[in-house]
Amino acid sequence: MASAMINVPAKARRGDIIEIKTLMSHIMEPGYRHKASGEVVPRDIITSFTCRFNGNEIFRADLFPAVAANPFITFFTTATESGKFEFEWIGDKGFSETASASISVE
Amino acid sequence: MRFSGAIAAALLTASIVGAAEIPQTDRRSGYSFMAPDTRVMQDDDTANPGMLWVLDGEALWKRKAGAAEKACADCHGDARVGMMGVAARYPAFDRATGRPVDLEQRINSCRTSQQQATPLPFESRELLALTAFVARQSQGVPIETGADPQLAPFIAKGRELYTQRQGQLNLACANCHDDNWDKRLAGAAITQAHPTGYPLYRLEWQSLGSLQRRLRACITGIRAQAYDYGAPELVELELYLMSRAKGMAMEAPGVRP
């Protein structure tokens, strides 16, 4: 039941600095912990987050085992034109999730 | 070790334990003890990780389950209307068993009797998600738990447990949460134990958790044997704490350090 929450303003004026907030559901198991039986719990984390605006990459982050569960990634960008933000999370065990949000710029 | 040392230190500085109840005007939600960053996290739905469970719960609410092929929504309709204020009345008296049940137990009894499905394990993602979704519909609603007169003997039992010293540290809940709530335990604020935000996201857990999980953690902290999930004692404690917080606003899903 993986799910993402995205907060992008629906409207902005050209040149405005806008905040993008993203929250992704993920356990972020670091791979350093052991079960009671002594076996290592295998690493299961998100390794990469990317945001594209109208096809062009505008933000990218690499994630590591120290990042807490359910990573909350927020960043700022300048509103230049109307269009679509596309978000992508990639991780261990074939984890791959996408989300998108549109903005209209006047 | 650091933690238990701090408990001992807090006890030494405490005056003779009076177990005086907190005056109504001094009651404060755990929210007001938190750092501004953590408050923002709770207040902003898109930053509150508890909302991930609420979203899952919304999907589960509409999904058919069990031999009866029924979804919660088939009987209860739109949760935004039908479930508003419901969580603010739990734990509530259950006529079938003659005992109080908490919200998780109510959801599970609905699953077995109405949906003819298997009950969901305590602290499972599904049960937490459904509970969070239902509790979310009461956000801002004042707590009303305990209004039913049939609950009176169970509230009294819960209060007895709350004031009963137990464990190797020989502490009652009241020793911290009634007598020393304005002090700190190591770096952490001792709160007044008003369960306004459950189920809530604890940063320490990196997950959503129930009030029973919180109570078990506290009981383990005083080095007593924790009651099993679903034990009558835990439900009575939940009931007493919710009735003690009567009139305070529901915050679920809360965020706590």
Query: Is residue B131 a contact partner of residue B199, using CB atoms and an 8 Å limit?
Result: yes
Distance CA A31, CA A24 (A): 19
Model pLDDT, residue B20? 77
Distance in Å, alpha carbon of A87 to nearest chain B alpha carbon: 15
A71's CB contacts (< 8 A; 6+ apart) are: A23, A24, A26, A28, A46, A49, A63
Percent of chain A past pLDDT 70, that is, above it, reads: 98
User: Taking all residues of chain A, what is their mean pLDDT, rounded to a whole number?
Assistant: 95
Same domain, B210 and B232: yes
Query: Is residue A48 a contact partner of residue A90, using CB atoms and an 8 Å limit?
Result: yes
Q: Which residues of A touch B202 (CB under 8 A)?
A: none
Q: How many domains does chain B have?
A: 2
Q: What CATH number is given for A4-33+44-105 in this structure?
A: 2.60.40.10
Task: State ipTM.
Answer: 0.90
What would the mean pLDDT of A42-61 be, rounded to a whole number? 97
Helix axes B125-136, B103-113, angle to 10 degrees: 110
Model pLDDT, residue B16? 42
Same domain, B183 and B148: yes
Query: pLDDT band at residue A3, thresholds of 50, 70 and 90?
Result: confident
Residue range B28-42, pLDDT digits in tens: 999 999 999 999 999
**H or E element in which residue B99 lies:** strand B99-101
Model pLDDT, residue B6? 53
Residue range B54-93, pLDDT digits in tens: 999 999 999 999 999 999 999 999 999 999 999 999 999 9
Distance in Å, alpha carbon of B56 to nearest chain A alpha carbon: 7
Q: Which structural domain, as residue segments, surrounds residue B69?
A: 50-136
Asked if the Cβ–Cβ distance from A6 to B46 is below 8 Å, we say yes
Q: How many CA atoms lie within 13 A of B49 on its CB side?
A: 25
Model pLDDT, residue B4? 53
Residue with tokens 């459904």: B130
Q: Which of B89, B109, B136 is the last residue of a domain?
A: B136
For chain A, domain boundaries: 4-33+44-105
Q: Which of B136, B158, B173 is the last residue of a domain?
A: B136
Contact residues, chain A to chain B, C-beta under 8 Å: 1, 3, 5-7, 21, 23, 25, 27-28, 68-70, 72, 74
Q: Quick one: chain A helix, strand, coil %, rounded to 5? A: 0, 55, 45
Q: Which amino acid is at A88?
A: E
**Which portions of chain B are predicted below pLDDT 50?**
1, 12-17
Find the CATH number of the domain harbouring B178. 1.10.760.10
ω into A71 cis (within 30 of 0): no
